[in-house]
Each structure stands twice: as C-alpha cells, then as structure tokens.
Amino acid sequence: MLENRDYMREQPKRIAWSMTTALTVVLVVVFAAQCINDVYLGTPAEYWLALTPMCFGHGWLWQLITFQFLHASLLHLAGNLIVFWWVGHFVENVFGKKRFLIALFGCGAMGGILQGILMILFPIHFGFPAVGASAGVGGLFAIFALLERDSEVRLYFVLPVRTMTLLWVVGGISLFFTLVPTPREMGMAHAAHLGGILTGVAWIKLGWHLDYVRLPWEAMFDRWRQRGPLKSQQRKRELVKTASFRMPRYPGSNSEDPADLPSEEFISREVDPILDKISAHGIQSLTERERNTLEAARHRMAKR
C-alpha cells in the first residue's frame, strides 16, 4: 500500500539542531575561546582571523569569512545573536540549509569586501580591524524584511515598528556613518553593515530566494561540466538511461507506456525514483518527462 512506503511513514522523532541553532552555539564557543586567549594564551590568532587591510594587501582572503565568527565584547555578541536568532530561523526555513549558509556568509563577505576596500583607500578612518557577524546578520534581516514587508517587530522589545521601516532606518544609519566616518563611531564597521544589507536586498531582487532559480555559479558549473571529458561521460550516461527506458519493462509484454501500469506499480517504478531525485538534488533537477510523470501521478491519486 502507498502508506507503507518509506516516504509516507511517520519518521521516528529525533532531536535535530537547525543550522541557526548550531551557528549560535559556535559563535558563543568562539567568543569564549577569544576570552581564554586574551587571559591565558596571548596568541596572535585574532590578528590572522579578524578583517584587516592584510586581507587584500597580502591575499589573506580567508578573513572575509573568519571575521564573522569573532566579536569585540559580550554586548556585541549578544546584540548580533538576538537578531540572528530572530531572523535566522525564518530565512533558514524559507531557503533550506544550503542557501541559508550561502546567503549568511555571502552577505557577510560582501560587507567585508566593502569595509576592506575602504580600509585600503582611507586607512585613517577605516584602518581598524573589523570583527562580528553583523554584516551577515544585516543581510539576513534585509531578506526577512523584504519577504515579510507588513510584519511588525518590537524594537528593544517595546516599540512596534514595521520591518521595512526598520530596514530603512538601519540602512540609512549605516550609509550615513560610512560617508561620515566620525571618530565617535570608531570600532563600528558601518561599511560592512551597509554591504551586508545591500547584498541581502540584491539576493531578493535577483530571485535567489526561490528554489527553482539557480544560483549563478551553479549554471557556470553545469556549463563547465558539459565541456571536455566530463561532457562525453555525461553523454554516455544519458545514452544508457535512454536505452534503459526503451527496454520492455516486463518479459513478453509489448507495452512500454507507463500509463498502462497499475497504480501501485506505476508509483513504484515511475514515481519513487523521481521522489528520490528531488530529495537528493532538488525539484529544479527534474526533466520535463519527470515533471509530466509527477503530474500524471497526482491525477491518479485524485481519482482514488
């Protein structure tokens, strides 16, 4: 029976951390390690991991990622974690874990690039090391605000504010202090915040929050895979698959049309492999034939 299939059975309950929860724990642990290093170890780890002009001057590009794990104080960490916990779960549920991580660290890295460029061009105003997850978190907040425009949040847990209004305020503050790098704000990487927010806005405007819209590098990889030795190997696999589909499914049977199969056999032979493919590679990987097969299965189930 259909309900006895693995994907229809109720799975046993188990505790599984979301990526938001896991990253929250990681950020807390890293900050604890920073404090221990300050008092007992005294290693120059933060000089290597924080965002500095060396990121571009010496090619230390890993700093575009590692600076997002470091924080300057407990208050700095707490502020970022509150917003991250609030918007992170929402964005992760919409994007899935893979795109969530790409969006988070991608926004943070783009914010780091803007901050790093200003470090080189205006070292007097932007030459201090930058740390914190706020660039990536700002990008996630921009994504959340654009997807939930009419939602209302409680600023400082008291003042009700629409998310889009808050986005404009935060973006405006970041832009102002990027253009006016007053010493009063020394230590605050406003340019990184601005870069992260703008990247989050671009993510939505480009439609990358939709699972059927492929990310640019995914299409580039597919084009590269179609060239050279990989192309011939892929072609061989396609020929083998085509040949297997054209072989009679039952000895002594002249019918090759899956529509003639009984419902249970149709689901077992035609639908199950497609569901496995969706689970492994996403719905965007389906061919036109596979989409038509799912539609046919839906019509069959509706008639039962």
Three-state DSSP at 156 gives coil
What pTM did the predictor assign? 0.70
Confidence at 246, pLDDT banded by 50, 70, 90: very low
Same-domain pairing of 267 and 192 = no
Confidence at 4, pLDDT banded by 50, 70, 90: low
Domain total of the chain: 2
Check: CB of residue 148 under 8 Å from CB of residue 167: no
Same-domain pairing of 80 and 186 = yes
pLDDT of residue 85: 94
pLDDT score of 231 more than 60: no
* 155 secondary structure, DSSP code: E
Same-domain pairing of 262 and 208 = no
Does residue 264 form part of some domain? yes
Does residue 242 form part of some domain? no
Single out the residue in 153, 178, 213 at which a domain terminates: 213
Same-domain pairing of 145 and 267 = no
Does residue 13 form part of some domain? no
CATH number of the domain within which 50 lies: 1.20.1540.10
Single out the residue in 213, 248, 268 at which a domain terminates: 213
Residue type, 272: D
pLDDT of residue 12: 58
Confidence at 34, pLDDT banded by 50, 70, 90: very high
Distance between CA atoms of 185 and 179, rounded to whole angstroms? 12
pLDDT of residue 104: 96
Does residue 228 form part of some domain? no
Does residue 23 form part of some domain? yes
Same-domain pairing of 150 and 24 = yes
pLDDT score of 10 more than 70: no
Does residue 11 form part of some domain? no
Same-domain pairing of 273 and 149 = no
Single out the residue in 213, 239, 270 at which a domain terminates: 213
Same-domain pairing of 29 and 171 = yes
Same-domain pairing of 164 and 300 = no
* DSSP letters for 223-288: HHHTSHHHHHHHHHHHHHHHHHHHS-SSTT-----GGGS-HHHHIIIIIHHHHHHHHHH-GGG--H
Confidence at 137, pLDDT banded by 50, 70, 90: very high
Does residue 240 form part of some domain? no
Does residue 6 form part of some domain? no
The domain containing residue 201 runs over which residues? 19-213
* DSSP letters for 68-118: GG--SSHHHHHHHHHHHHHHHHHHHHHH-HHHHHHHHHHHHHHHHHHHHHH
